[in-house]
Structure 1
Amino acid sequence: MTLVWILTLALILGLLAFDYFFHVRSAHVPTLREASIWSALYVGIALLFGVLTLIFGGAAMGSEYFAGYITEKALSVDNLFVFLIIMTSFRVPRENQQKVLLVGIVVSLIARAGFIFLGSALLNTFSWVFYLFGIALLLTAGNMLKPQTEESHSAQNIVVRLARRLFRTAEDFDGDRLFTVVDGRRLMTPMVLVMIAIGGTDLMFALDSIPAIFGLTQNVFVVFTATAFSLLGLRQLYFLLDGLLDRLIYLSFGLAAILAFIGAKLILHALHENNLPFVNGGDHVEVVEISTGLSLVVILVVLLITILASLFSTRGRTQTAMANIRRDAAAYLDSEYTADAGERERIFRRLLEARDHIIALGPDARQQVKNEADLMELCRAAAASHAAAHPAHEIRPSL
């Protein structure tokens, strides 16, 4: 087993090193084709690892891995929405977003590894910890049912505010450098603050995701590998899902249902293993335990329903259009957002598509649009800027 751990860690570290030296080290904006190919490759590696686990570890271990991987992957997609808000809040140049995401993934891996080994030690020593994990997941599920908007998250969290007070920070980015010199003084760039915000957010996410996967398996190797492979490729997935994250309006409801299901599974397991004197006199309680196979089926069905419902929802398309207008107009009008002409043209065309969607809405659906006048004004400002830069281009008329 020691050799398996060594080979697995070598594979994970090798993939991270490859990601840095061949993609992130040279700042650039990934194309949709690049993001698609590498996302598919990382998912393929994760699935292949699962097949090998199934072959060499048995059906139980393999199903635990796939259940854990799918759950962690779904949670990581939901987390990308918060990463998007942080990037937008700090006005991170598009070319440098890859580096921030990779650092966030590394921090997340380290944090989760620590939580995994700590959680395993607690569960092996105190069986009543299953109760705590189950209750924590039920509370998390309840919180996920609350409306999640850009205003409900803030990149300016307490860690970032403390860092601004303790350290001298420059106002502007200097490429992807962490430090710069302004008026002869060495200052941190906002890149450091973004990484602090992403890292702090990752720590909070770990508190939710680790109890969830322990509800599916207590095998430390499976927990670690399922978590690690769900994080690898997250950088590419961010760019692949760019513009679609707001579309998944029901994903949080699906994840809430999954976490509540796993939380109930943990509590049932805790009752079965019970040794608390004030519960059934310290004896175990005869309850039905939920199998990993059933858990995998429930997770897949819930995710499939919520994703399809989101993609075919008019409300989802409208919410995506509104979010795209706000972010794409701000990005296009920000001369420092990107120096890539192709990327600027891409976000401008997406802005026009979002505008046309809002215009084409019927009276009933149009009630879902908030601050329509402000959105159209953003479109006109971006169109005017585009016309000034490309006088020969013809722009479709707006409202």
Structure 2
Amino acid sequence: MINTGWYDLFSRGARDWLRHNDKVREAVQSHLPDLIAGPDLITGPQERTVQVPVRMLEHARFKLAEGRSQTGAGQGEGQPGDVLQSGQSEPSSGSGESGEGGSENGEVRLLLEFSIDDVMDWIWEELKLPDLQPKPGARIDEVELVREGWDKRGARSRLDRRRTVKEAIKRRAVQTNPVPFTNDDLRFRQLVTRVRPSTSATILFVIDVSASMTQLERKLAKSFFFFALQGIRRKYAKVETRFIAHTTHAWEFSEREFFQVTGIGGTIASSAFRLVNELVRKELDAAHNNIYMFYASDGENFTEDRAAANQSLSELGGMLNYIGYVETLPGVPRALETEMRRLCNELERRGLPISSSVLSAPDDVWRALRKFFSKEVEADTAEVRP
């Protein structure tokens, strides 16, 4: 039987490894807006990666000071985390001006590379479809990880210290000359996958591709759709998706065509809302399915279409679980409300499940995702910018 000392259960390397993982986690979460706003993730290669800067971690090193320069045994005032003495850099003849070496303290950062799949895990860790309701009919099976039982083998991060001590105490109670700990005493928490039945859902992605939508505006809208679609599919494996684009008329497209479609001509938003209404009544059955619609536009609409758009969108608000409207305003936001934003705000004040968000820059995609798919949203991200 191999003896294992207590210090081996919680080795310095294991503690440092866990601490490093926590730092990487914090770095990825703090850089999520930049990752979303980074390279073109929609049309890039299949195996896409992004780089995240992480501060390099070093072990503290202590050395004894000379008696004539330092006195005392270290029982002075202070709190954990206080800086005892600022680091001293090597003297430099440079003044730090442009083109010359400075003498200020610096730090070293590492660039860690992550796949897009890993980033999507971070983004959708706490995000879910809003207002999911149990309804009769087909179901979505959600896979979740749960703790279940113990094992003598496992990852160090899942070591159950209390259970390990109990096993050691029971073993020593029946042995004549017991050793403190052995490998047989180790107990690790086990994670198993469990299928949790959920409710069925259909997501409709609708975009305005009229001539007023510039290439940058379409790119902002499709970036939001891309991340929303990827995250929803990771969270709900059997969710159904439908894709619609419109100018003065509306058409249904495949997913691949949807992310490539462009158009010319005017804008009649009610054409898309009528097509969605027709699909809901004839094919989707709102009584047995949770149905969501996310609509992206630059906010402009044909003036004479106002009444028809109001009526169609009001009917959808009464049938759908949730409607999310993203308005693309690259650059300087407009001073006045657009036609579509005014309509959505009016319906939201009437209590319909409609919410709006503005995309004026690529990093606004992250704020829109949090607003539509997170139950607890910070105050500054919950408000629509003027």
TM-score normalised to the size of structure 2? Answer: 0.23
Q: When you count helix as a share of all residues, which structure comes out higher?
A: 1
Pair member with larger Rg? 2
TM-score normalised to the size of structure 1? Answer: 0.23
